[in-house]
Amino acid sequence: MSNGKTPKAISKEQQSYFKNIRAYRRKIKWTRWILLLLFFVLWQTATQLKWIDSFIFSSPIGMWQAAVELVKSGILWQHLAVTIGETMVGFLLGTALGTALAVLLWWNSFLSDVLEPYLVVLNALPKTALAPIIIVWIGNNVTSIITVALLTSVVVTIMTVLEGFCRVEEEKIKLIRIFGGNKAQILTKVVLPDNVPCIVNALKINVGLSFVGVIVGEFLVAKMGLGYLITYGSQIFKMDWVLLSVILLAVLAALMYQMIVSLEKRILKRRNQ
């Protein structure tokens, strides 16, 4: 139903401004695709002209042939499914547990102050160094791989989300307290809604970290997955398999990142309505 208001006409200057923005975005998108295409063309040309050794550096055509071979045998889909499944579990657990612990530390400032230096040290510690220890403790199984992915992302999530919680405007918190609100209401009405973008940013960071954790775990214990394919391919000098796996990892990470960006746009759209 109409609200009785006449829609405001967009001026020619505004139309021109929006048109320029759309044109600029299209220009960026096409430039990205052209750069990617040029990279692969240059790579293939370098191997054909013997500037680089295709046995060591592989080539786009070699990787394509390897992909066709692995798809026909059905092996590629199995490796992809294993890596995607392990990454998603580690990603979701890392985000959920990290956010929950950030809420706990925000709730208890004494606990936060006590654990702050330990979190800083854990964040600086290379998580991949813990992978062999985790495997010894938990065993040579999928649980170890998921645990490595979880540890890789959880500390970053805690610190990112907790920092966002601590930056909430004090005036908003005081307003809730003036009207008799308790700490739980401050959390649900102010802190969490204000930090939705912060949590989404933590999701973006966790995409890459989860893949790193999973691949490191697969390097050490897996019998399936892209990490195993990379290790096995390097051992038998199948560099086509190795570089194909690396490119597939990049594609998977980009797809997951775009999914989170789409989620972020939907959230922001609902908040602005």
80-132 confidence digits (pLDDT tens): 999 999 999 999 999 999 999 999 999 998 999 999 899 888 888 877 778 88
53-73 confidence digits (pLDDT tens): 888 888 899 999 999 999 998
Q: Are 62 and 52 in contact (CB under 8 A)?
A: no
Give the Cα separation of 146 and 214 in Å (integer). 7
pLDDT at 252: 92
CA 233 to chain CA centroid, Å, is 26
Distances (CA, A) of 242 to 69, 98, 204, 229, 246: 14, 32, 26, 7, 6
Give the Cα separation of 40 and 240 in Å (integer). 14
Q: What is the pTM of this model?
A: 0.82
H or E element in which residue 169 lies: none
Q: Are 224 and 78 in contact (CB under 8 A)?
A: yes
pLDDT at 2: 46
**In one letter, which amino acid is 220?**
L
Per-residue confidence band for 44, with pLDDT thresholds at 50, 70 and 90: very high
Per-residue confidence band for 1, with pLDDT thresholds at 50, 70 and 90: very low
Q: What would the DSSP string read from start to end of 31-74?
A: HHHHHHHHHHHHHHHHHHTTSS-HHHH--HHHHHHHHHHHHHHT
Torsion angle of alpha carbons 235, 241, 246, 249, nearest 10°?
-120
